[in-house]
Structure 1
Amino acid sequence: MRKRSRYKLLTYFAGAGLITFVVTLVLNNTIRLSMPKKTPTPKELYDVISPSTYRFILNQPELCLKKSPFLVLMIPVTLKDTEARTAVRRTWGQYGLIPHVTILHLFVVGQPAQSDPLLQEHLEKESKEYGDIIQMDFVDSYHNLTIKTMMIMNWIATFCQDAQYAMKIDADIFLNVHYLVDYLHGQGESSRKDYITGSVISDASPHRDSFNKWYISEDLYSDTWYPPYLSGAAYVFSTDLARKISWASRFVRPIPLEDVYVGLCLHVLGVKPAYATRFLGLRNLFEVRRLKYERCTFAKCIIVNGFNPQNLLRIWHDFQKSYNTC
């Protein structure tokens, strides 16, 4: 009886194992078959955002080789944003802000639609003095922000892939550098690969009104909803994603909404943006609303949106004096 029972038990386990194997195989094949095929974007469309289409006017290819940074801040600005660049250098972009943590900043610039030799000369002098400007020969405009963002990704992937993190951040943002560094250290190894965080937008649909600033025609994007993406005001990512997003752009048709476009590239990669929140998700650390300055409120955020250069300088001076007392 014991032998017969043991035989029945072994037969049962063998059958269960075979069923599990077959089910797993079928599910894996089903998932593989259901994954969308990646169709390369036609060359004439991909060339719009391809790095090979444009050339550097100003570059800093040696910057990361000399520093081995923890974080690289990539700041899109225009030729005429001299005050904004100065304000960033004197506030959250200043070198040596956190001891033993190397943080670099770079301003990313295109060219104006109408040539301005005087401003261009001033920019080149700035570049020689500070060594923090990258310029390429695409037309700098709101609708070309997708091109500028892909140039940022390509620069990180080409010249700064050994940095741990990169951050795309607008010049009119208040950045709490100490909080950001502490937050990234707290994420541990899980944030070193396929990681991107910021203010996640997960329920957006295309605007079909042609008078809307964010209008997207059905010809450009036919789906009803966008995949999750991050507000373009500021987001942080592990530097391995720069190369992967650049690769994914070969399969995503260009649209003039850079934050949505990065979300579409992440969707191709199967990477989900991470929410940066505290207190059970009730507080967004990437505050994209325009908040009135209050030191202790700002001390509990990574970013706050919407400051002109004068206001940024003013609040930074007050914030640095005693933010750690909050």
Structure 2
Amino acid sequence: MTENITLLILVKSSVKNVFLRDAIRNTWGADLSKNIVLRFMLGFSVSHAEQTKLEDETYQDVIVENFVDTYANNTLKTIMGFNWAVNECPTARAILFIDEDHLPRIDNIMDFLRSFNPEQLDSLFCGIQIIMARAIRRKHRWSVPENVYEHKHWPPYLRGGSYVVSQKIAKRFTLAFPFVKYIHIDDSYLGIVALKLGIIPRHDHRFQTNQNQLTKFKKQFVYNDYKNPGVLKNAWKMIKATT
């Protein structure tokens, strides 16, 4: 069993969703222990540049690189997060990647991480495992032409909404990224990189739970689809009232 784990939480956020980031800062993001670091991953937007600069000056919790903040650049945002974790927060034993519209129960996640011995923790790459997903060819935001990815199915990958990866595994990913052909679907891309590295994604159903099951399933790690700041705040109040 591993004690005194430092966790880095990287929230994949759309640059325009400042109110949702503020809701996180005022709910679960304000309830973190000293050994937990929270950062928001953003791309660049000319129309939101001043707001992003103000956020950085005020909270010092945003990571921004010079790529356009669009869905098509989600893989760039994910790579940015991995690189930042390895280069700027190397003391974090584990990294939680999570979408901005997801609500985590951090205490449950920390108990989960502590359940591993150090060797097990170092090999952790865990979330909702997707197996034998077909590559989409028709026009869709997830479509990939055959000249970019020729196979009919993706290798096993973890759903991008929330997953944890150890610092040791993250370092292996960062070394491999420059040598793996870019694909804009970030979770599928990580699956390809993991396959090349011989890393097997671990499945745990607790990383995805419908928001309607918030009070029923209290041992889950993450609840999904809180796109409204007010709904997120109310859900957090419900969690605090039942713990």
What's the secondary structure of 2:219's corresponding residue?
coil
What's the secondary structure of 1:187's corresponding residue?
coil
User: After the TM superposition, which segments of 4 or more aligned residues of structure 1 sit over 3 Å from their partners?
Assistant: none
Answer yes or no: is the 8 Å Cα contact 2:113–2:121 preserved in 1. Answer: no
Residue 254 of structure 1 and its aligned partner are, at CA, apart by: 0.6
Any residues of structure 2 matched to 1:72-111 within 5 Å, and which?
72-95=8-31, 97-98=32-33, 102-111=35-44
Answer yes or no: is the 8 Å Cα contact 1:161–1:240 preserved in 2. Answer: no
What's the secondary structure of 1:292's corresponding residue?
helix
Question: Which of the numbers 207, 210, 213 marks the counterpart of 1:286?
Answer: 207
1:8-65 C-alpha deviation (Å, 9 max, x unpaired): xxxxxxxxxxxxxxxxxxxxxxxxxxxxxxxxxxxxxxxxxxxxxxxxxxxxxxxxxx
Answer yes or no: is the 8 Å Cα contact 1:107–1:132 preserved in 2. Answer: yes
Question: Which of the numbers 77, 98, 110 marks the counterpart of 1:169?
Answer: 98
Q: Which runs of 5+ in 2 are unaligned?
A: none
Residue 212 of structure 1 and its aligned partner are, at CA, apart by: 2.5
Larger Rg: 1
What's the secondary structure of 2:30's corresponding residue?
coil
**1:133 paired to 2:85:** no
Residue 291 of structure 1 and its aligned partner are, at CA, apart by: 3.6
Residue 191 of structure 1 and its aligned partner are, at CA, apart by: 3.3
What's the secondary structure of 2:143's corresponding residue?
coil
| CA–CA distance in structure 2, aligned partners of residues 312 and 255 of structure 1 | 31
| CA–CA distance in structure 1, aligned partners of residues 236 and 73 of structure 2 | 31
| CA–CA distance in structure 2, aligned partners of residues 217 and 246 of structure 1 | 25
Residue 224 of structure 1 and its aligned partner are, at CA, apart by: 2.2
Correspondence for 2:50: 121
Residue 229 of structure 1 and its aligned partner are, at CA, apart by: 0.4
Q: Normalised by the size of structure 1, how large is the TM-score?
A: 0.70
**1:306 paired to 2:225:** yes
1:60-92 C-alpha deviation (Å, 9 max, x unpaired): xxxxxxxx9710111121221111111111222
1:177-228 C-alpha deviation (Å, 9 max, x unpaired): 111111111122243323110001012121121x233111110111122111
1:81-123 C-alpha deviation (Å, 9 max, x unpaired): 111111111222225x34xx611100111112xx21xx32222
Identity %: 28
The one-letter code sitting in structure 2 at the alignment partner of 1:102 is N
The one-letter code sitting in structure 1 at the alignment partner of 2:124 is Y
Residue 167 of structure 1 and its aligned partner are, at CA, apart by: 1.0
What's the secondary structure of 2:147's corresponding residue?
coil
The one-letter code sitting in structure 1 at the alignment partner of 2:20 is A
The one-letter code sitting in structure 1 at the alignment partner of 2:170 is A
| CA–CA distance in structure 1, aligned partners of residues 144 and 41 of structure 2 | 25
Q: Normalised by the size of structure 2, how large is the TM-score?
A: 0.92
| CA–CA distance in structure 2, aligned partners of residues 84 and 160 of structure 1 | 24
**1:316 paired to 2:236:** yes
Correspondence for 2:157: 229
Residues 69 and 78 (structure 1), Cα distance of their counterparts in 2 relative to 1, 3 Å cut: farther
- Number of matched pairs: 239
| CA–CA distance in structure 2, aligned partners of residues 294 and 263 of structure 1 | 29
Aligned Cα RMSD in Å? 1.7
What's the secondary structure of 1:295's corresponding residue?
coil
Larger RCO (alpha carbons 8 Å, 6+ apart):
2
Answer yes or no: is the 8 Å Cα contact 1:70–1:102 preserved in 2. Answer: yes
| CA–CA distance in structure 1, aligned partners of residues 52 and 5 of structure 2 | 25
Answer yes or no: is the 8 Å Cα contact 1:106–1:133 preserved in 2. Answer: yes
| CA–CA distance in structure 1, aligned partners of residues 127 and 222 of structure 2 | 9
Q: Which runs of 5+ in 1 are unaligned?
A: 1-67, 277-283
The one-letter code sitting in structure 1 at the alignment partner of 2:207 is F
1:230-266 C-alpha deviation (Å, 9 max, x unpaired): 0000110101222211111233211110000011111
Please state which structure has a larger fraction of its residues in helix: 1
| CA–CA distance in structure 1, aligned partners of residues 29 and 5 of structure 2 | 14
What's the secondary structure of 1:184's corresponding residue?
helix
What's the secondary structure of 2:212's corresponding residue?
coil
